[in-house]
Structure 1
Amino acid sequence: MSITYRGTVALITGASAGLGAEFARQWAERGADLVLVARRLDRLEELAAGLEQRYGIRATAVAADLSLPGAGAALRAELDARGIRIQTLVNNAGFGSHGPFLEQDPAQIDRMIQLNVTAVAGLTRAFLPDLAADGRGALVTLASAAAYQPTPAMAVYGATKAFVLSLTEAIAYETRRSPLRVLAVSPGPTSTEFFDVVGSRDAAVGRMATPEQVVTTARRALERSSTPPSVIYGLGNRLSALASALAPRRLTLAVAGRALKA
């Protein structure tokens, strides 16, 4: 079925580039007003102005560092003060790093957990009551193909995405009697700034997807008559996740370690 988001507001985190910007474009194309959140206000304002002009929607840019404690509640309070109600939440912000856990910067580990885990949980808890009561929008989280097995050389990143996947699927079950659609989308390597931040292409295992392909997969999953709790982009990633579930854990770990050049 085809879904319109006209008359709703979608909050998209990490919206200044990559998957976040593509979520913004596809939701604006379907009539949603937007709240675009990231640290780089100049890029957000440029994206917001372009989407408003092209699609005739309203886009609000909000600069926020979601890696700070209490970021979810603070953002909710700011939007309440502006009189903005959210019907769709896309938890897209996140980052990863590559290398042995022993050599990772402790401050970077803390920031990654705060952004990939704590902020996702905090934002979801802050806005979920309104999302479930309204039911016209959706809750979307960005997990990863890395969520389906341990990821040596990306140990913290993989663990954070396993949390996101598990949390989202559990919420999908808990809210199954509401009209809200809840989805975790798990892409493999995608052509975004992600690997620039990671600092290595060794983590790019498998065929590179485009942001449009990943977001279209998520949107089409939401448009099904019965939305699945999670979806994996790409046949190779789906087969890998299935193999990881069926194979002995030790074998899965060894395969992942070789693939990620741990």
Structure 2
Amino acid sequence: MTVDRRTALVTGASAGIGAGFARHLAGQNYDVVLVARRAQRLGELAASLHDQFGVRAEVVAADLSTPAGPSTVVDRATELGMPIDVLINNAGLSSSTKFSVTPWNEVAAELQLMVTSVTELIHLVVPGMKTRRWGRIVNLSSLAAVSPPGEGLLYTGIKSYVLNMSQSLDMELKPFGINVTALCPGFTHSEFHDVMGTREAADRIPGIMWQQPEDVVDEGWAAVMAGKPVCTPGLVNKISAAAMRPIPQRIQYVLGRTFNPFK
């Protein structure tokens, strides 16, 4: 493996922002490991990326909502001889029913997918990145992370965790050449709302509030390459986030580094 052909692992790669990151990174000459549950969709994307860009594109069909998911994915990448230099933690979902009436197995799967697996994947790939003194990690948070919580939903709390965790890890890992960015998009055109059964409600949201996945990906990748710990893509989303946050993100980041009580 040469420096100009690093490997990117993309979760939730079968559609939307994940597929957008896969295309973007392949276009930047990264080999890619594509992860999702839908093997056929991944296979079609992998073939397309190889044909169009000449990169190596491998498929790992895995369910990250199960405890075995993260280690299965990273073990397979190791077997393929593809150490991970870039991690795009994109896989996600949101419950469309309130917490108290949602079966616990569904709640547990949501937490596993968007909290535990996200964190474990980072923990598994960081040692190699530290050894190579280079790494890029993009964690999909959301504008919801700085929004008022939704009644009975865990989504805003989960995305707040991803936002805060990403900044904490960026502080720790930057000295090793590893940048971590929390990408906080707002409404993005994808299959997310179809899968969650919220398409009718989504269609009532004004068009000015929406972004294309490609635009989210472009801003997110530019941010992590520039070493920015937080990226809120799109002017409307930036204005919305600023209106909802009493302390600017950059000041919070500085305070977090300066007043860490455990140093």
Equivalent position SS for 2:189? coil
Q: Could you tell me how far apart the structure 2 residues matched to 1:105 and 1:216 are?
A: 37
The alpha carbon displacement at 1:188 in A equals 0.3
Distance 1:168 1:203 in 2: 28
Query: Secondary structure in 1 aligned to 2:188?
Result: coil
The equivalent residue for 1:181 is 179
How far did 1:44 drift?
0.5
TM-score by length of 2: 0.85
Report the 3-state secondary structure (helix = DSSP H, G, I; strand = E; otherwise coil) of the residue aligned with 1:60: strand
> After superposition, what is the alpha-carbon deviation per residue over 1:15-70, rounded to whole angstroms, capped at 9, x for unaligned?
01111111000000010000001111111010000000000101001100011113
- Alignment-derived partner of residue 97 in structure 1: 95
Contact kept in structure 1, 2:20 and 2:217, CA below 8 Å: yes
Please report how far the alpha carbon of residue 203 of structure 1 lies from its aligned counterpart in structure 2 after TM superposition: 6.0
Separation in structure 2 between the aligned mates of residue 147 and residue 18 of structure 1, nearest angstrom: 20
What is residue 14 of structure 1 aligned with on the other side?
12
- Tell me the distance in 1 between the aligned counterparts of 2:56 and 2:79: 17
Amino acid aligned to 1:236: V
Matched, 1:213 2:215: yes
Tell me the amino acid that sits aligned with residue 232 of structure 1.
Answer: T
Distance across 2 between alignment mates of 1:135 and 1:141: 20
Counterpart CA distance in 2 for 1:132 and 1:169 is 17
Shift of 1:110: 1.3
Q: Unaligned 5+ residue runs, structure 1?
A: 248-262
Q: 2:100 & 2:202 partners in 1: Cα distance? A: 17
- SS of alignment partner, residue 45 of structure 2: helix
Contact 1:98–1:154 (Cα < 8 Å) also in 2: no
Q: d(CA) in 1 for partners of 2:192 and 2:233?
A: 17
**1:125 to 1:203, Cα distance in 2 relative to 1, 3 A:** farther
Q: Is the 8 A contact 1:28 1:34 kept in 2?
A: yes
Aligned residue for 1:222?
Answer: 224
Unaligned runs of 5+ in 2: 248-263
Deviates more, 1:112-121 or 1:69-78: 69-78
Alignment-mate amino acid for residue 218 of structure 2: T
1:1-262 matches, cutoff 5 A: 6-153=4-151, 155-201=153-199, 202=201, 207-224=209-226, 227-246=227-246
Q: Distance in 1 between matches of 2:225 and 2:82?
A: 25
Q: Could you say what the CA RMSD is over the residues aligned between the two structures, in angstroms? A: 1.9
TM-score, structure 1 as length reference = 0.86
SS in 1 for 2:154: helix
Please state whether the residue corresponding to 1:89 is helix, strand or coil: strand
CA contact (8 A) 1:19 1:92 kept: yes
Percent of residue pairs bearing the same amino acid type: 37
State the number of aligned residues: 241
Classify 1:50/1:154 alpha carbon distance in 2 versus 1 (closer, same or farther; 3 Å).
farther
1:255 aligned residue: none
User: Structure 2: which amino acid aligns with 1:231?
Assistant: C
- Deviation string 1:84-132 (CA, Å, 9 cap, x unpaired) is 2111111010111234333333322111111010100111101111123
